[in-house]
A and B are shown apart, each in its own frame.
Chain A
Amino acid sequence: MNPFSSELWSPYVVGAGIGVLLWLGFLLSNKAIGCSTAYARTSGMAEKFVRGDKVKDKPYYKKFIPEIDWEWMLVLGIVVGALISSLLSGSFRIEMVPQVWENTFGSSQILRFAGALIGGLLLGFGARMAGGCTSGHGISGTSQLSLGSWLAFLFFFIGGILTALIIYGGI
Protein backbone atom coordinates (compact mmCIF):
# COMPACT_ATOMS: atom_id res chain seq x y z
CA MET A 1 0.00 0.00 0.00
CA ASN A 2 1.24 3.52 -0.76
CA PRO A 3 1.83 5.16 2.65
CA PHE A 4 1.00 8.63 1.30
CA SER A 5 -2.53 7.64 0.45
CA SER A 6 -3.27 5.68 3.62
CA GLU A 7 -5.26 7.87 5.95
CA LEU A 8 -3.87 6.98 9.36
CA TRP A 9 -0.34 5.91 10.15
CA SER A 10 0.79 4.01 13.23
CA PRO A 11 0.88 6.42 16.19
CA TYR A 12 4.40 5.15 16.94
CA VAL A 13 5.64 6.15 13.48
CA VAL A 14 3.98 9.56 13.80
CA GLY A 15 5.34 10.07 17.33
CA ALA A 16 8.88 9.11 16.32
CA GLY A 17 8.61 11.48 13.34
CA ILE A 18 7.54 14.34 15.61
CA GLY A 19 10.48 13.51 17.89
CA VAL A 20 12.82 13.84 14.90
CA LEU A 21 11.26 17.23 14.09
CA LEU A 22 12.18 18.31 17.63
CA TRP A 23 15.80 17.35 16.85
CA LEU A 24 15.67 19.34 13.62
CA GLY A 25 14.24 22.39 15.41
CA PHE A 26 17.13 22.37 17.87
CA LEU A 27 19.77 21.47 15.31
CA LEU A 28 18.85 23.77 12.43
CA SER A 29 17.24 26.67 14.31
CA ASN A 30 18.20 26.37 17.98
CA LYS A 31 14.43 26.45 18.69
CA ALA A 32 12.04 24.29 20.68
CA ILE A 33 8.80 23.55 18.82
CA GLY A 34 5.73 25.25 20.30
CA CYS A 35 2.53 26.84 19.06
CA SER A 36 0.81 29.04 21.59
CA THR A 37 3.09 32.12 21.63
CA ALA A 38 2.25 32.53 17.92
CA TYR A 39 -1.34 33.19 19.06
CA ALA A 40 -0.20 35.84 21.55
CA ARG A 41 1.89 37.52 18.83
CA THR A 42 -0.94 37.42 16.28
CA SER A 43 -3.36 38.80 18.83
CA GLY A 44 -0.90 41.65 19.46
CA MET A 45 -0.56 42.25 15.72
CA ALA A 46 -4.34 42.43 15.34
CA GLU A 47 -4.61 44.82 18.30
CA LYS A 48 -1.81 46.96 16.84
CA PHE A 49 -3.76 47.15 13.60
CA VAL A 50 -6.82 48.48 15.47
CA ARG A 51 -5.27 50.57 18.25
CA GLY A 52 -1.92 51.54 16.77
CA ASP A 53 1.60 51.45 18.17
CA LYS A 54 0.66 51.99 21.81
CA VAL A 55 -0.06 48.24 21.99
CA LYS A 56 3.73 47.75 22.07
CA ASP A 57 3.74 49.37 25.54
CA LYS A 58 1.70 46.56 27.08
CA PRO A 59 4.16 44.69 29.31
CA TYR A 60 3.10 41.32 27.89
CA TYR A 61 3.84 42.42 24.34
CA LYS A 62 7.27 43.60 25.44
CA LYS A 63 7.96 40.00 26.39
CA PHE A 64 6.30 38.58 23.28
CA ILE A 65 6.83 41.16 20.55
CA PRO A 66 3.90 41.15 18.07
CA GLU A 67 5.80 40.09 14.96
CA ILE A 68 6.18 37.13 12.65
CA ASP A 69 8.87 34.84 14.02
CA TRP A 70 10.10 31.25 13.61
CA GLU A 71 7.26 29.78 15.65
CA TRP A 72 4.64 31.83 13.79
CA MET A 73 5.92 30.36 10.50
CA LEU A 74 5.80 26.90 12.07
CA VAL A 75 2.11 27.31 12.91
CA LEU A 76 1.43 28.55 9.37
CA GLY A 77 3.31 25.49 8.10
CA ILE A 78 1.03 23.19 10.13
CA VAL A 79 -1.99 24.42 8.15
CA VAL A 80 -0.22 23.72 4.86
CA GLY A 81 1.16 20.34 6.00
CA ALA A 82 -2.23 19.12 7.21
CA LEU A 83 -3.83 20.35 3.99
CA ILE A 84 -1.28 18.45 1.85
CA SER A 85 -1.68 15.31 3.99
CA SER A 86 -5.48 15.34 3.85
CA LEU A 87 -5.53 15.99 0.10
CA LEU A 88 -3.10 13.11 -0.55
CA SER A 89 -5.04 10.69 1.64
CA GLY A 90 -8.43 11.90 0.43
CA SER A 91 -9.55 12.70 3.98
CA PHE A 92 -9.95 16.43 3.24
CA ARG A 93 -13.57 17.40 3.73
CA ILE A 94 -15.57 20.37 4.92
CA GLU A 95 -16.59 19.63 8.51
CA MET A 96 -19.09 21.91 10.25
CA VAL A 97 -20.06 19.76 13.25
CA PRO A 98 -17.85 16.82 14.31
CA GLN A 99 -19.61 13.50 14.98
CA VAL A 100 -18.86 13.13 18.69
CA TRP A 101 -20.06 16.72 19.30
CA GLU A 102 -23.22 16.02 17.32
CA ASN A 103 -23.95 12.90 19.40
CA THR A 104 -24.16 15.09 22.49
CA PHE A 105 -25.23 18.53 21.30
CA GLY A 106 -27.06 17.85 18.03
CA SER A 107 -26.30 19.13 14.56
CA SER A 108 -26.68 22.89 15.16
CA GLN A 109 -23.77 24.64 13.45
CA ILE A 110 -24.23 27.83 15.48
CA LEU A 111 -23.95 25.87 18.73
CA ARG A 112 -20.77 24.13 17.57
CA PHE A 113 -19.20 27.38 16.36
CA ALA A 114 -20.05 29.05 19.68
CA GLY A 115 -18.63 26.05 21.56
CA ALA A 116 -15.43 26.17 19.50
CA LEU A 117 -15.10 29.91 20.17
CA ILE A 118 -15.56 29.52 23.94
CA GLY A 119 -13.30 26.45 24.07
CA GLY A 120 -10.68 28.38 22.09
CA LEU A 121 -10.92 31.35 24.43
CA LEU A 122 -10.23 29.14 27.44
CA LEU A 123 -7.38 27.37 25.59
CA GLY A 124 -5.76 30.63 24.54
CA PHE A 125 -6.00 32.12 28.03
CA GLY A 126 -4.94 28.92 29.81
CA ALA A 127 -2.01 28.31 27.48
CA ARG A 128 -0.61 31.77 28.08
CA MET A 129 -1.07 31.46 31.83
CA ALA A 130 0.60 28.04 31.88
CA GLY A 131 3.32 29.29 29.51
CA GLY A 132 2.75 26.78 26.72
CA CYS A 133 0.47 24.25 25.06
CA THR A 134 0.34 20.58 24.15
CA SER A 135 3.35 21.01 21.86
CA GLY A 136 5.42 23.62 23.73
CA HIS A 137 4.96 22.00 27.14
CA GLY A 138 3.52 18.56 26.24
CA ILE A 139 6.13 17.49 23.69
CA SER A 140 9.06 19.97 23.58
CA GLY A 141 9.15 20.86 27.26
CA THR A 142 8.71 17.30 28.51
CA SER A 143 11.45 16.11 26.12
CA GLN A 144 13.79 18.67 27.68
CA LEU A 145 12.77 17.22 31.07
CA SER A 146 11.48 20.61 32.18
CA LEU A 147 9.70 20.11 35.51
CA GLY A 148 7.06 22.77 34.77
CA SER A 149 6.28 21.17 31.42
CA TRP A 150 5.63 17.74 32.95
CA LEU A 151 3.34 19.44 35.48
CA ALA A 152 1.54 21.35 32.69
CA PHE A 153 1.15 18.18 30.60
CA LEU A 154 -0.42 16.42 33.59
CA PHE A 155 -2.89 19.23 34.30
CA PHE A 156 -3.84 19.72 30.62
CA PHE A 157 -4.99 16.11 30.60
CA ILE A 158 -6.58 16.15 34.08
CA GLY A 159 -8.67 19.18 33.04
CA GLY A 160 -9.37 17.74 29.60
CA ILE A 161 -10.33 14.24 30.73
CA LEU A 162 -12.63 15.45 33.54
CA THR A 163 -14.35 18.00 31.28
CA ALA A 164 -14.77 15.51 28.43
CA LEU A 165 -16.22 12.87 30.75
CA ILE A 166 -18.70 15.42 32.12
CA ILE A 167 -19.83 16.96 28.84
CA TYR A 168 -19.60 14.06 26.36
CA GLY A 169 -19.43 11.07 28.70
CA GLY A 170 -22.64 11.92 30.53
CA ILE A 171 -21.16 11.62 34.01
Chain B
Amino acid sequence: MTNEYIQQILSDKFGAAVWGFEETFGIFSFNIKPEINTAVLQFLNDEASLSFQFLTDLTAVHYPDRKDEELCVVYHLHNLVANKRIRVRASVPVAQPDIATMTNLFSSANWMERETYDFFGVNFTGHPNLVRILNADEMNYFPMRKEYPMEDPTRTDKDDEMFGR
Protein backbone atom coordinates (compact mmCIF):
# COMPACT_ATOMS: atom_id res chain seq x y z
CA MET B 1 0.00 0.00 0.00
CA THR B 2 1.75 3.11 -1.24
CA ASN B 3 0.89 6.71 -0.55
CA GLU B 4 0.05 7.15 -4.22
CA TYR B 5 -2.44 4.32 -4.04
CA ILE B 6 -4.19 5.83 -1.00
CA GLN B 7 -4.27 9.23 -2.67
CA GLN B 8 -5.65 7.75 -5.89
CA ILE B 9 -8.40 5.72 -4.28
CA LEU B 10 -9.51 8.59 -2.01
CA SER B 11 -9.49 11.12 -4.83
CA ASP B 12 -11.54 8.81 -7.00
CA LYS B 13 -14.06 8.30 -4.25
CA PHE B 14 -14.33 11.75 -2.68
CA GLY B 15 -12.92 14.10 -5.31
CA ALA B 16 -12.00 17.58 -4.16
CA ALA B 17 -13.29 16.99 -0.62
CA VAL B 18 -9.95 15.33 0.14
CA TRP B 19 -6.81 17.36 -0.53
CA GLY B 20 -3.39 18.39 0.74
CA PHE B 21 -1.69 15.01 0.51
CA GLU B 22 1.81 15.04 1.97
CA GLU B 23 4.16 12.82 3.89
CA THR B 24 5.56 14.41 7.04
CA PHE B 25 8.14 12.51 9.08
CA GLY B 26 7.03 9.13 7.82
CA ILE B 27 3.28 9.62 8.19
CA PHE B 28 1.11 10.18 5.15
CA SER B 29 -1.31 13.03 5.87
CA PHE B 30 -4.21 14.71 4.15
CA ASN B 31 -7.11 17.07 4.82
CA ILE B 32 -10.78 16.29 4.46
CA LYS B 33 -13.93 18.35 4.61
CA PRO B 34 -15.40 18.03 8.12
CA GLU B 35 -18.83 17.04 6.75
CA ILE B 36 -17.50 13.81 5.30
CA ASN B 37 -15.36 12.62 8.21
CA THR B 38 -17.65 9.69 8.96
CA ALA B 39 -17.78 8.67 5.30
CA VAL B 40 -14.00 8.87 4.86
CA LEU B 41 -13.10 7.03 8.07
CA GLN B 42 -15.76 4.40 7.38
CA PHE B 43 -14.38 3.95 3.86
CA LEU B 44 -10.80 3.73 5.14
CA ASN B 45 -12.03 1.13 7.61
CA ASP B 46 -14.15 -0.98 5.24
CA GLU B 47 -12.17 -0.92 2.01
CA ALA B 48 -10.25 -4.21 2.11
CA SER B 49 -7.13 -2.80 0.49
CA LEU B 50 -6.89 0.00 3.08
CA SER B 51 -8.23 -1.43 6.38
CA PHE B 52 -7.31 1.43 8.66
CA GLN B 53 -9.12 -0.14 11.57
CA PHE B 54 -7.14 1.09 14.54
CA LEU B 55 -7.64 4.61 15.85
CA THR B 56 -4.30 5.48 17.41
CA ASP B 57 -5.02 9.02 18.43
CA LEU B 58 -7.62 11.73 18.13
CA THR B 59 -6.95 15.30 19.13
CA ALA B 60 -7.31 18.86 17.92
CA VAL B 61 -5.07 21.84 17.19
CA HIS B 62 -6.11 25.47 17.40
CA TYR B 63 -4.82 27.71 14.60
CA PRO B 64 -6.22 31.15 15.42
CA ASP B 65 -4.96 32.63 12.14
CA ARG B 66 -6.79 30.28 9.81
CA LYS B 67 -10.05 31.99 9.07
CA ASP B 68 -13.09 29.70 9.37
CA GLU B 69 -11.01 26.61 9.95
CA GLU B 70 -9.44 27.46 13.27
CA LEU B 71 -9.94 24.12 14.96
CA CYS B 72 -8.26 21.22 13.25
CA VAL B 73 -9.35 17.76 14.41
CA VAL B 74 -6.58 15.25 13.80
CA TYR B 75 -7.10 11.50 13.50
CA HIS B 76 -4.15 9.13 13.51
CA LEU B 77 -5.12 5.82 11.99
CA HIS B 78 -3.13 2.62 11.77
CA ASN B 79 -3.42 -0.45 9.61
CA LEU B 80 -1.81 -2.93 11.97
CA VAL B 81 -1.51 -5.72 9.40
CA ALA B 82 0.27 -3.72 6.72
CA ASN B 83 1.81 -1.54 9.46
CA LYS B 84 0.91 1.71 7.76
CA ARG B 85 -0.01 4.88 9.60
CA ILE B 86 -1.95 7.84 8.20
CA ARG B 87 -3.07 11.16 9.56
CA VAL B 88 -6.43 12.68 8.64
CA ARG B 89 -7.18 16.32 9.40
CA ALA B 90 -10.58 17.98 9.37
CA SER B 91 -10.87 21.68 10.17
CA VAL B 92 -13.94 23.34 11.58
CA PRO B 93 -14.65 27.02 12.31
CA VAL B 94 -14.25 28.01 15.93
CA ALA B 95 -17.56 29.87 15.77
CA GLN B 96 -19.44 26.66 15.05
CA PRO B 97 -17.14 23.71 15.76
CA ASP B 98 -19.43 20.84 14.78
CA ILE B 99 -18.11 17.54 13.52
CA ALA B 100 -19.67 14.08 13.60
CA THR B 101 -18.56 11.68 16.29
CA MET B 102 -16.56 8.58 15.42
CA THR B 103 -17.74 6.60 18.44
CA ASN B 104 -19.93 4.38 16.25
CA LEU B 105 -16.85 3.14 14.48
CA PHE B 106 -14.27 3.23 17.28
CA SER B 107 -15.15 2.73 20.95
CA SER B 108 -11.81 4.32 21.77
CA ALA B 109 -12.99 7.61 20.26
CA ASN B 110 -15.37 8.15 23.18
CA TRP B 111 -12.94 9.56 25.72
CA MET B 112 -10.61 11.03 23.14
CA GLU B 113 -13.50 13.09 21.78
CA ARG B 114 -14.52 14.06 25.29
CA GLU B 115 -10.98 15.21 25.96
CA THR B 116 -10.92 17.18 22.71
CA TYR B 117 -14.24 18.77 23.62
CA ASP B 118 -12.97 19.52 27.10
CA PHE B 119 -9.88 21.37 25.90
CA PHE B 120 -10.92 22.82 22.54
CA GLY B 121 -14.69 22.88 22.58
CA VAL B 122 -15.09 20.80 19.45
CA ASN B 123 -18.71 19.70 19.37
CA PHE B 124 -18.82 16.06 18.32
CA THR B 125 -22.40 15.67 17.18
CA GLY B 126 -23.99 12.35 18.06
CA HIS B 127 -21.55 11.61 20.88
CA PRO B 128 -23.31 9.61 23.62
CA ASN B 129 -21.91 11.59 26.55
CA LEU B 130 -20.10 14.74 25.49
CA VAL B 131 -19.17 16.21 28.87
CA ARG B 132 -15.88 17.39 30.35
CA ILE B 133 -13.50 14.65 31.33
CA LEU B 134 -10.30 16.05 32.89
CA ASN B 135 -11.28 19.60 33.80
CA ALA B 136 -13.83 20.68 36.38
CA ASP B 137 -17.44 20.41 35.26
CA GLU B 138 -18.23 24.05 36.05
CA MET B 139 -15.49 25.42 33.79
CA ASN B 140 -16.96 27.67 31.11
CA TYR B 141 -14.11 28.00 28.64
CA PHE B 142 -11.85 25.72 26.61
CA PRO B 143 -8.35 26.10 28.00
CA MET B 144 -6.20 24.76 25.16
CA ARG B 145 -7.38 27.45 22.77
CA LYS B 146 -4.65 29.91 21.98
CA GLU B 147 -6.45 32.94 23.41
CA TYR B 148 -5.71 31.66 26.91
CA PRO B 149 -2.05 32.33 27.64
CA MET B 150 -0.18 30.30 30.22
CA GLU B 151 0.93 33.31 32.24
CA ASP B 152 -1.21 36.06 33.67
CA PRO B 153 -1.23 38.65 30.84
CA THR B 154 -1.45 41.55 33.29
CA ARG B 155 1.96 40.87 34.75
CA THR B 156 4.67 43.32 33.79
CA ASP B 157 7.64 41.80 35.62
CA LYS B 158 8.01 39.00 33.07
CA ASP B 159 8.77 40.63 29.75
CA ASP B 160 8.99 38.09 26.97
CA GLU B 161 9.86 40.55 24.26
CA MET B 162 13.34 39.10 23.79
CA PHE B 163 12.76 35.50 24.67
CA GLY B 164 9.56 33.65 24.30
CA ARG B 165 6.42 33.39 22.41
Q: Do A and B associate with each other?
A: no
